[in-house]
A and B are shown apart, each in its own frame.
Chain A
Amino acid sequence: MDTEDLISFDKISLRTLVIDDSRIMRTMVMKSLQETYLADFEFTEAGSGAEAMELFDPETIDIIFADWNMPGMSGVEFAHQVRSMSWANHVPIIMVTSESGEGKKQDAFDKARITCYVTKPFTVMEMREKIAPIIAKLKEKRQAASPPAKAPAPAKPQGGGGFFSKLLS
């Protein structure tokens, strides 16, 4: 699918988890994503890897954008945990990080099996080019599923009860 085909009126709705310890950076990532016009993004924000683990539920999150360097659980550790769970490892994880070394980038792909790597600072165009193929695949998957249904609104966990909390209980 050509990238330009994605700019259409039948944009898919993507429930998007944005993880970064910087509120400003979360805002900038969300703004950039909206400006790509690739999907109707519905955002859930997490300020740390641990908070993201609480909020993440593969039934209510379609795509994840995670920073690498955060206090406590890093974005790579978060991705590694998600990938270690067979029922959750289909969700694309895009690492959005200032770590620009090729070695670190390769580590993120090899060890955490991330889907895509976006280096800060990035432009909207760079973000668009990186995520367009991922969104195209999500769109194809959704179109292949029958009957086609509009994705429900993102579920805000009540009382800190995310997917993993529910699983543990």
Chain B
Amino acid sequence: MLTQTQPTLTLEHPKLVTENVDAVPSWLIANIQTSTISAFSKMLGETTCVTPEELTSEAHYDGIIGIISFVGDYTWSMVLGLPHRSAEPIAKMFAGFEIPFDSPDMGDVVGELTNVLAGVISGELESSNLKVHMSLPTIAIGKDFQMSLPENLTSQRIHFITENNDFWIKLIVAKHG
């Protein structure tokens, strides 16, 4: 007869343990992937998947981004990026009507997409007993712009594809090393 010994977890929040203190923790990446697939599939009505391909370069970026920050047991920020080619179709799938890239409503839609996604993520984290509060979203839109981070931060981008479009999410955390 086989017997299993349950490991004893002594940390209050075992999820906060990271394998590399200078990298975005794998538990956060896993949460973002699951939450994004779930939220976007529902919001857009299209299957959403993670792709290993870097479909959009960060250099000379042309598109729109939504930024939201999380504070609580773990502090980090998330950037949702819609490349120009995907912004209009994704906005239409979300809102149900055409929204031109240059209209003020595009910022409104991406702000709401970011906000809804952040809500799903924070709900998942809360269910793992992590306290989390999210900020209001901030939007940046334009052509040929670049995001830069201070030296004490590290980031990782995750690329997603829907049936006809793509977008990415960048996670930004403080280096602890």
Contact = CB atoms under 8 A, between A and B. Distances in A.
B95 A24 contact: yes
A152 to B, nearest CB: 31
Interface in A19-72: 22-25, 27-28, 31, 69-71
B105 interface: yes
A101 B123 contact: yes
A100 B115 CA distance: 11
B116 to A, nearest CB: 5
B122 A100 contact: yes
B127 A98 contact: no
B71 interface: no
Contacts of B126: 101-104
B158 to A, nearest CB: 20
A119 B119 contact: yes
A120 interface: yes
B172 interface: no
A69 B115 contact: yes
B127 A101 contact: yes
A101 B122 contact: yes
A84 interface: no
Given A28-B95, A31-B96, A121 B136 contact: no
A121 B93 CA distance: 13
Contact of B108 (A24, A31, A100, A104): A24
A98 B115 contact: yes
Interface in B136-175: 136
B134 to A, nearest CB: 8
A85 B118 CA distance: 33
Give chain A's interface residue range (CB within 8 Å of chain B).
20 to 34
B49 interface: no
Given A24-B105, A24-B109, A100 B123 contact: yes
B120 interface: yes
A24 B42 contact: no
Given A28-B95, A123-B42, A22 B123 contact: no
B81 interface: no
Interface string B102-138: 0001001101100111111011011100001010100
A98 B116 contact: yes
Contacts of A99: 119, 122-123
22 contacts: A22-B108, A24-B95, A24-B112, A25-B108, A25-B112, A28-B95, A28-B96, A31-B96, A69-B134, A97-B119, A98-B117, A98-B118, A98-B120, A99-B119, A99-B122, A100-B123, A101-B123, A101-B125, A101-B132, A102-B123, A104-B126, A121-B42
Closest 9 CB pairs of A and B: A98-B119, A100-B123, A101-B126, A121-B43, A98-B116, A24-B108, A120-B116, A101-B123, A121-B42
Given A23-B105, A100-B120, A119-B119, 15 more contacts: A22-B111, A24-B105, A28-B96, A71-B136, A98-B117, A98-B118, A98-B119, A98-B120, A99-B119, A101-B127, A102-B127, A104-B126, A120-B115, A121-B116, A121-B120
